[in-house]
Structure 1
């Protein structure tokens, strides 16, 4: 049954099963932490940029609208807007401090200490939902329904080191395999559920449009420059390089996508953004128009979510703009160098503390119970602890343990 739970840890109330899933995710501390975690720019940059929580809220909202739109066309579809929204809210719970550089760093450190799976955000999200989140006395995790757990899985398989696809992205660590099997019972192997496909497309839409909006506001993206021949060729070349199994006509399709986007680009967005009312109004119109047409032209069949290829091409082009002007930016690279160093040093410090009973009072109190869990390895416990922190907490704890800033005993840093 889609609404089956592993434990049924809580009684019934006025809500339907899938609504309860959504609410449990929304109210868990792992979701609240995302307000202090990088989306693309650091969460410390302030309200100008999306943090990981705002991104997740928008992914959930878009996923819900995609389901509602699909049900308008075919009420017989076995999909639920609450499940899709819950998956959108939960899909990045395992996103560690400092974004993808944090993910890479934790993975490298775990592998150095003998863990072959390393760290990956998708299985960490699942791990939080089924094991790490604290909600019930005798049941680990949030005790969500099968449908919601399956909807979080963009890559519904376990890690396989020598498989190019299954060794890069996967749904659950092997230690969480029993819950993986519970969630995937009755589903075709390696095929994401409809709600998982919807959430994945919602994630692409949100990332490609809302992040681009941020960096336009910040003055990092100049549309008049993008339209210049050499710059446009460079963006298209980058987008093609990131396109898995790119078709032979990939460059032409991306060129056409760029021209369609330029055709609806308001003149106010070709000017430096100063934040006047007309610019903000046109920017909001542009983002709303893009999201609206991507949602409205998506179709859902019994086993597959179908998007018009031209809109997928536009999303690829938009995402590459963010890569070129932001992710490959020299200033961001320098910031990430420091973040990698902080996370690496803190990991080693916490690993030393975890192995010494005399030092364990220095381990974050929030995660100290992990050290006594049956079968858990200390490196994995340290990774779980770090993945539960905001970026500000990581920086503060690093400074405390390295003696850079002793702070005060009245400030526990990590609660």
Structure 2
């Protein structure tokens, strides 16, 4: 049966005709946003760090506040483009064009939903543990949470979002084995990314999200022709993510005294040497980075942070000007595609490098992250020891019920022929899924239980445990 394009992007993989409560006037894309917003997987992000630990005394962004702002910036980007271009629909078709802001916001809310406790710092730990079992990648885990792990209905796993929203969440729409099968994209080509973003176990959800009304997978219209082109909504979400990261984190760490934005000249030479050694652009484009650095430096505060009302107002104005500039860098290139000007991308790269140089590479943070890696590594190994390969089950009684449920769900996938998990792979993926749905406090608490560090003072309460 042929499906009208206007309905095609509203389709859900599992729920043919969603039931509505009397008086519910939300359309399919508005319900997507609400399903994400009300999920416990999303709420958990309040307990996951953006850069520094969530328990810091300074009021810093965490993954939840970051995701809320990514969603808001993405919505405003989409609204502006729709207002300025009557033919632009972002790949959803003209009948669905007014729903693009909901789709982009939903993708922004969900983009970090699968990131583990302590964020990027411990991803390498999980990559090593999962290297023989399909790998680990934060974006792929987010897609897995949305499609498999989040709970909404008894009849199916995941949140069962529309095709358009799932495609918007796919920041890197490719498997690990298909990264850049063609020519690598240019550094400023936002239609692609360097990473991968989906596990083979989510093949049916991935193919559903990437299909188009004419049949087959989404066509690649990019200059590099390297496959796996992002949707326009995913491009907007990805740029909104960068905007939030390079502005709100700079705001946090200037106020906390870690980024001397008023005195960048004091360590300018060392910073430029650091940036030159860590920049992935071609060498002949280094002058462009120096030019962008000059623009950013000129816009920074002229005096040290002092907690006064004037300081707060001036910093807010700087933040607003940067966000507006970056948002205005997005341009429509066709009714279904967008691009971001290279000049503003260079300026965003300068702010990223400043954050790494002054904050992320600091010895104090690096030392804390080493401890965080050990917590997650030992927790993963401790939980995996419960697996009984001969019985094909997770040990019962003394181990988290949720972990046992994750393992049982993987068994059901095998029985249904959805994905054939080998015993050790099934156990490792169940543990990985479980760890990636813990907050940092929950991870530390469970680590203390597993290692015996808090036997004498541990509480019997904890939803993450039973």
In the alignment, what sits opposite 2:445? 396
**Corresponding residue of 2:159:** 142
In structure 2, do the counterparts of structure 1 residues 227 and 21 end up closer, same or farther at CA, with 3 Å as the change threshold?
same
Query: Among 153, 156, 172, which residue is 2:198 paired with?
Result: 172
Which residues in structure 2 correspond to 1:263-274 (within 5 Å)? 263-267=298-302, 270-271=303-304, 273-274=305-306
Task: Tell me, in whole angstroms, the C-alpha distance in 1 between the residues paired with 2:263 and 2:459.
Answer: 52
Partner of 1:50: 61
Of 140-149 and 37-46, the range deviating more from structure 2: 37-46
What is the Cα deviation at residue 162 of structure 1?
A: 8.1
Q: Structure 1 192/242 Cα, relative in aligned 2: closer, same or farther at 3 Å?
A: farther
Whether 1:81 aligns to 2:101 is yes
1:6 aligns with 2:13: yes
Counterparts of 1:277 and 1:211, CA distance in 2: 20
Show the counterpart of 2:80: 69
Q: Deviations over 1:154-193 (max 9, x none)?
A: 1111111886979972121001111100000021241100
TM-score scaled by length of structure 1: 0.92
Q: Which residue of 2 aligns with 1:293?
A: 325
Task: Confirm whether residue 26 of structure 1 aligns to residue 37 of structure 2.
Answer: yes
- Is the contact between residue 176 and residue 196 of structure 2 (CA under 8 Å) also seen in structure 1? yes
Task: Judge conservation of contact 1:59–1:199 (CA < 8 Å) in 2.
Answer: yes
Q: Are the equivalent residues in 2 in contact too, given 1:354–1:360 (CA < 8 A)?
A: no
How far has the Cα of 1:33 moved from its partner?
0.6
Partner residue of 2:295 out of 242, 260, 268? 260
TM superposition shift of 1:354: 3.3
Asked if the contact 1:396/1:413 (under 8 Å) is kept, the reply is no
In 1: Cα distance, 2:387 partner to 2:269 partner? 51
Indicate the residue corresponding to 2:460 in structure 1: 410
Residue pair 2:72, 2:105 contacting (<8 A) in 1 also: yes
Contact 2:262–2:301 (Cα < 8 Å) also in 1: no
Cα pair 2:330 2:338 within 8 Å, conserved: yes
Structure 2 gap ranges (5+): 1-7, 91-99, 185-191, 213-217, 220-226, 415-420
Partners of 2:277 and 2:86 lie apart in 1 by 39
- Asked if 2 retains the 8 angstrom alpha-carbon contact of 1:37 and 1:390, the reply is yes
1:311-355: CA deviations, max 9, x gaps?
A: 111100001010001110000111011111111111111001233
* Correspondence for 1:251: 286
Is residue 394–residue 407 contact of structure 2 (8 Å, CA) maintained in 1? Answer: no
Instruction: State the distance in 2 between where 1:391 and 1:141 align.
Output: 23
CA distance in 2 between partners of 1:118 and 1:358 (Å): 21
For 2:174 and 2:282, the matched residues in 1 are separated by: 24
CA RMSD of aligned residues (A): 2.1
1:378 aligns to what? 427
CA distance in 2, matches of 1:179, 1:396: 34
Q: Is the 8 A contact 1:62 1:202 kept in 2?
A: yes
Higher mean displacement: 41-50 or 233-242: 233-242
Q: Are 1:280 and 2:312 counterparts?
A: yes
Whether the 8 Å contact between 1:152 and 1:196 is mirrored in structure 2 is yes
Which of these residues, 247, 263, 272, is aligned with residue 225 of structure 1? 263
The aligned residue for residue 371 of structure 2 is: 338
Q: Equivalent residue of 2:197, what SS?
A: coil
Q: Deviations over 1:100-121 (max 9, x none)?
A: 122111111122xx31x32110
1:194 to partner: Cα distance = 0.1
The 1:239/1:306 distance shift into structure 2, 3 A limit, reads: farther
1:216 aligns to 2:216 (yes or no): no
Matched residues in 2 for 1:46 and 1:81: separation?
Answer: 35
When residues 180 and 358 of structure 1 are mapped into structure 2, their CA distance, relative to the original with a 3 A threshold, is: closer
TM-fit CA distance, 1:224: 4.0
Deviation at 1:361, TM superposition (A): 2.6
The superposition leaves residues 24-54 of structure 1 with CA deviations (integer Å, 9 ceiling, x where unpaired) of: 0011111111000011111121452110111
Contact 2:243–2:323 (8 Å) recurs in 1: yes
- Preserved contact between residue 397 and residue 413 of structure 1 (Cα < 8 Å): no
Q: For 2:194 and 2:350, how far apart are their aligned partners in 1? A: 23
TM-score norm. by structure 2 comes to 0.82
2:229 maps to 1:191: yes
